[in-house]
Amino acid sequence: MEVNKIMADLERKHPGENEYLQAVREVLESIEEVYNQHPEYEKAKIVERMVEPDRIFTFRVTWVDDQGEVQTNLGYRVQFNSAIGPYKGGLRFHKAVNPSMLKFLGFEQTFKNALTTLPMGGGKGGSDFDPVGKSNAEIMRFCQAFMTELWQNIGVDTDVPAGDVGVGGREIGFLNGMYQKLARKYHTGVLTGKGMAWGGSILRPEATGFGALYFVEHMLNKAGKSIKGAKIAISGFGNVAWGAATKATELGGHVIALSGPDGVCLNPNGMTPEKLAYMLELRASNRNVVAPFAEKFPDATFVPGKKAWSVPCDIALPCAFQNELNGDDAAELLKNGTWCCAEVSNMGCTPEAIHTFQNAGILFAPGKAVNAGGVATSGLEMTQNCMHISWSGAEVDDKLHFIMANIHEACVKYGQRPDGSIDYVKGANIAGFMKVAQAMLEQGII
Ligand code: 2IT
When pLDDT is averaged across residues 194-204 and rounded to a whole number, the result is 98
Give the span between the Cα atoms of 116 and 428, in whole angstroms. 11
Report the percent of the chain where pLDDT is more than 90: 99
Question: For residue range 70-116, what is the model confidence (pLDDT) as tens digits?
Answer: 999 999 999 999 999 999 999 999 999 999 999 999 999 999 999 99
Which pLDDT does position 1 carry in this prediction? 83
Taking 90 as the threshold, does the pLDDT of residue 356 lie above it? yes
Question: For residue range 115-137, what is the model confidence (pLDDT) as tens digits?
Answer: 999 999 999 999 999 999 999 99
Q: How far is the CA of 90 from the centre of ligand 1 (A)?
A: 5
Question: For residue range 221-278, what is the model confidence (pLDDT) as tens digits?
Answer: 999 999 999 999 999 999 999 999 999 999 999 999 999 999 999 999 999 999 999 9
Ligand 1 binding pocket (C-beta < 6 A) is 88-90, 109, 112, 162, 164, 192, 346, 374-375, 378
Question: For residue range 149-180, what is the model confidence (pLDDT) as tens digits?
Answer: 999 999 999 999 999 999 999 999 999 999 99
When pLDDT is averaged across residues 403-407 and rounded to a whole number, the result is 98
Pocket test for ligand 1, best of 159, 203, 208, 322 (most atoms within 8 A of CB): 208
Distances (CA, A) of 57 to 50, 76, 79, 103, 428: 18, 5, 8, 12, 29
pTM: 0.98
What phi and psi, each to the nearest 5 degrees, are found at residue 271? Answer: -90, 155
Q: Where are the alpha helices (DSSP H) in 285-336?
A: 291-296, 327-335
3-state SS class at 132: coil
Give the span between the Cα atoms of 434 and 340, in whole angstroms. 27
3-state SS class at 286: coil
Give the DSSP per-residue string, 365-428. Answer: E-HHHHTHHHHHHHHHHHHHHHHT----HHHHHHHHHHHHHHHHHHHHHHHB-TTS-B-HHHHH
Mean predicted lDDT score pLDDT of the chain: 98
Nearest residue (by CA) to ligand 1, atom 10, is 375
Which pLDDT does position 391 carry in this prediction? 98
Q: Cβ(14)–Cβ(52) under 8 Å?
A: no
Give the span between the Cα atoms of 289 and 281, in whole angstroms. 11
Q: Cβ(135)–Cβ(171) under 8 Å?
A: no
89 membership: H or E segment, kind and range: strand 87-93
Which pLDDT does position 107 carry in this prediction? 98
Q: How far is the CA of 433 from the centre of ligand 1 (A)?
A: 18
Q: How far is the CA of 286 from the centre of ligand 1 (A)?
A: 20
Give the span between the Cα atoms of 268 and 14, in whole angstroms. 45
Q: Cβ(142)–Cβ(95) under 8 Å?
A: no
365 membership: H or E segment, kind and range: strand 363-365
Q: How far is the CA of 162 from the centre of ligand 1 (A)?
A: 6
Pocket test for ligand 1, best of 97, 108, 164, 380 (most atoms within 8 A of CB): 164
Q: Cβ(371)–Cβ(345) under 8 Å?
A: yes
Nearest residue (by CA) to ligand 1, atom 9, is 89
Between 2 and 319, residue with greater pLDDT:
319
Give the span between the Cα atoms of 366 and 294, in whole angstroms. 30
| Catalytic position from the list 88, 103, 112, 124 | 124
Nearest residue (by CA) to ligand 1, atom 3, is 375
Taking 90 as the threshold, does the pLDDT of residue 376 lie above it? yes
- pLDDT class of 396 with cuts at 50, 70, 90: very high
Q: Cβ(51)–Cβ(26) under 8 Å?
A: no
Kind of pairing between the strands at 263-266 and 254-260:
antiparallel
CB atoms closer than 10 angstroms to residue 116: 25
What phi and psi, each to the nearest 5 degrees, are found at residue 335? Answer: -60, -35
Query: Ligand 1, closest atom to CA 113?
Result: 3
- pLDDT class of 397 with cuts at 50, 70, 90: very high
CB atoms closer than 10 angstroms to residue 426: 22
Give the span between the Cα atoms of 368 and 428, in whole angstroms. 7
- Residue of 91, 96, 66 whose CA lies nearest to 79: 91
Pocket test for ligand 1, best of 105, 165, 378, 407 (most atoms within 8 A of CB): 378
Tell me the residue type at 224: G
CA 175 from chain center: how many Å? Answer: 20
Give the span between the Cα atoms of 178 and 281, in whole angstroms. 26
Residue 268: half-sphere exposure toward Cβ, Cα within 13 Å: 3
Taking 90 as the threshold, does the pLDDT of residue 25 lie above it? yes
45 classed as catalytic: no
Q: How far is the CA of 256 from the centre of ligand 1 (A)?
A: 27
